[in-house]
Every structure is written in C-alpha cells, then in structure tokens.
C-alpha cells in the first residue's frame, strides 16, 4: 500500500469515529453536566470532553498502534507543551467550544487532524448540532458535508466580516493591545464576530462565511484541522506577525486570501504601534 492509500484509509477511519463521537455531544447538549474548572476559573471542562478524547484515542490506537497523539485533555494532565515529532500524530480537540457546549450555544465541534512529518494531512471538524461536517485531505480540496467549499473572494479588508476572540484580554497584559486591535477592526471592516470555537470559526473562513479570523493564546488542537481546511479551500493561516504559523504556539491570522491576510498584519502592526506610543506618553 502506498502513502496515498494509507491517507485514504486513515481518513475513512477518522470520519467514522468522529461521526460516532458526535452522537455523544448531541446526546449530552441538553443534559445537566458535571462541570469542572481547569486551573483558571473560566476554563471549563465536562466529563464529555474526556470521554470523547479517550474514545478517539483508544479506537485509533487499536487500529494504528504506532501512531502518536496530542489531545487537549491528556496534555492538560501533563501540564507541559505538546511535542510534535515526524511520526504520524493525531491532534485531538474532543470538544472545541466547551463553554458553548455548557451553555447550549450550538457552535461546538470535534476537531481531529493527522500530522505526518510535521505536515497536516487530514483535517476534520464536525459540529453535530448543526450537522456540519468539514473535511480536507492535503491537496485534495476542502468539503462541507461532501460538497467542495471555497474561501471568500473579497480582497478589501474594509469590505470584510472578521471574527476575533478577545478573551485573552482577561490577562491584563493583553488588555490594551487586544482592545486596540478590536477597535482597529471595528473602524476598518464591515464588522466583527466572536463564536467561542476556534476550529469552527476557521471553517467559517474556509466556507466563505467570513473573510478572516484572529485569535491568540490557543493551542495546536484548536487550529490543526481548521488550518488544512482553510488552505485547501484557497485561504491562508499565518502568524500574527505575518510569518509562518507555529502550530505548537499558534498566534493566528486566518484569511480567505493573502491580500486580506497582509492587510490584517499591517492593521495590527499599526494598532500595536499606536498602543506602544500611547503607553510611552
């Protein structure tokens, strides 16, 4: 079997497992949940996050005993940054949008990616509540429920709808820079949105529902699957500085095309500069 056949097989297995795991979210969304706090008071986790991650890991490692895993809930226990090697590695966010899940806000999903030689080969993001199954294989296009998707063709930031998540401003060090960027976006675009799920928001860029998304302070499992889905839909995912995205410490500008990404980088540079200047005064 060649590598392409392997990827097809891995994809089929992953698709089935994610669809089945989605039933856990569907079944639990309206139930009372056992909510725990992960260190910081607003970082919620439920028994379902752990259950989905355990199920996916167990089933995938039964099928592919050599494969490695980076999963949000397992990594949280180790309390250290995940290490990405060249080995086939499944990156799992069992519930992205846990706070939404807790509040029954129906933007919540499972995000699963397969990375081989540090290159993302498969990305799956599934919102079982809205029956949205986003998927991509490298160089094979991006799909929503089996139909090809493409990013928006808008090239002017002022004509764009942008998602941004300002929650990192809960840390007072980020308050001024993040609010300055938000203010710049309010002034310079059609509007901003904030959905509470990085993986799904990346897919909304991929399907052309929004032009771009900016978030910092997230992790590899929030972004791995969505990054491939956007790239396969014609978009780009880069670091806030304009450089290459670091999957392990992602600071994200995701955009429908390079023109919008470049304009966002420039806008944030001037907003950040304005903040520095104000603080110096």
Angstrom distance (rounded) from CA 29 to CA 104: 6
The residue (of 178 and 207) whose beta carbon lies closer to ligand IPD is 178
Q: Which residues are annotated as a binding site for Mg(2+)?
A: 72, 93, 95-96, 222
Give me 196's structure tokens. Answer: 């509470």
162 or 198: CB nearest ligand IPD: 198
Token couple for 281: 């005064």
218 counts as binding ligand IPD under rule CB under 6 A: yes
User: Which span sits near Ca ion by CB under 5 A: 19-27, 93-101, 179-187, 257-265?
Assistant: 93-101
What is the distance between the alpha carbons of residues 69 and 63, in angstroms, rounded to a whole number?
A: 13
CB of 45 to ligand IPD, least distance (A): 8
> Residue 66 CB, nearest distance to Ca ion (Å)?
25
Neighbours of 162 (CB within 10 A): 25
Residues 210/234, Cβ–Cβ less than 8 Å? no
The CA-to-CA distance between both ends of the chain, in Å, stands at: 65
Say whether residue 96 binds ligand IPD (CB under 6 A). Answer: yes
Among Ca ion, ligand IPD, none, partner that 53 touches (CB below 5 to 8 angstroms by kind): none
25, 70, 95, 210: the active-site residue: 95
**In the bound complex, what is the minimum distance in angstroms from residue 40's beta carbon to Ca ion?**
10
Partner touching 179 among Ca ion, ligand IPD, none, CB below 5 to 8 Å by kind: none
Q: Is 196 in the site for ligand IPD (CB under 6 A)?
A: yes
- Please, which contacts does 22-30 make with residues 24 or more away whose CB atoms are closer than 8 Å? 22/110, 22/126, 22/128, 23/128, 24/48, 24/51, 24/52, 24/55, 25/52, 25/95, 25/101, 25/108, 25/110, 25/128, 25/129, 26/128, 26/129, 28/101, 29/101, 29/104, 29/106, 29/108, 29/129, 30/104
Q: Of 196 and 235, which CB lies nearer to ligand IPD in the complex structure?
A: 196
Per the annotation, the verdict on 96 as an active-site residue is: yes
Annotated binding residues, written as ranges, equal 72, 93, 95-96, 222
Q: Please report the sign of the dihedral spanned by the C-alpha atoms of residue 4, residue 10, residue 13, residue 16.
A: negative
SS3 136: strand
Q: Which of 17, 60, 72, 121 binds Ca ion (CB under 5 A)?
A: 72
Distance between CA atoms of residues 77 and 92, nearest Å: 15
Q: Which does 260 bind (CB under 5 to 8 A by kind): ligand IPD, Ca ion, none?
A: none
Q: Indicate if 72 belongs to the active site.
A: yes
**Active-site amino acid positions:** 72, 93, 95-96, 98, 222
Contact residues for ligand IPD, defined by CB under 6 A: 72, 93, 95-99, 165, 167, 196-198, 215, 217-218, 222
């Amino acid at each position: 079997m060649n590598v392409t056949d392997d990827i097809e097989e891995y994809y089929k297995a992953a698709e089935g497992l994610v669809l089945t795991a989605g039933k856990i979210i569907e079944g639990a969304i309206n139930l009372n949940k056992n909510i725990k706090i992960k260190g910081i008071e607003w970082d919620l986790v439920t028994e379902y996050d752990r259950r989905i991650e355990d199920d996916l890991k167990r089933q995938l490692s039964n099928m592919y005993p050599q494969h490695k895993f980076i999963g949000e809930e397992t990594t949280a226990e180790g309390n250290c940054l995940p290490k990405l090697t060249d080995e086939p590695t499944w990156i799992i966010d069992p519930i992205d949008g846990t706070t939404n899940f807790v509040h029954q806000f129906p933007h919540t999903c499972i995000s699963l990616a397969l990375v081989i030689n540090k290159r993302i080969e498969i990305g799956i993001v599934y919102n079982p509540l809205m029956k949205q199954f986003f998927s991509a294989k490298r160089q094979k296009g991006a799909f929503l429920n089996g139909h090809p998707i493409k990013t928006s063709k808008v090239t002017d930031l002022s004509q764009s709808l942008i998602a941004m998540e300002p929650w990192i401003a809960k840390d007072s060090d980020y308050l001024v820079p993040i609010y300055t960027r938000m203010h710049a976006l309010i002034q310079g675009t059609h509007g901003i949105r904030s959905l509470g799920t990085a993986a799904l928001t990346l897919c909304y860029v991929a399907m052309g529902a929004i032009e771009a998304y900016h978030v910092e302070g997230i992790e590899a499992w929030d972004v791995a699957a969505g990054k491939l889905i956007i790239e396969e839909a014609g978009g780009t995912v880069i670091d806030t500085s304009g450089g290459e995205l670091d999957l392990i410490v992602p600071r994200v500008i995701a955009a429908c095309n390079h023109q919008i990404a470049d304009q966002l980088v420039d806008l944030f540079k001037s907003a950040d500069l304005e903040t520095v200047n104000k603080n110096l005064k």
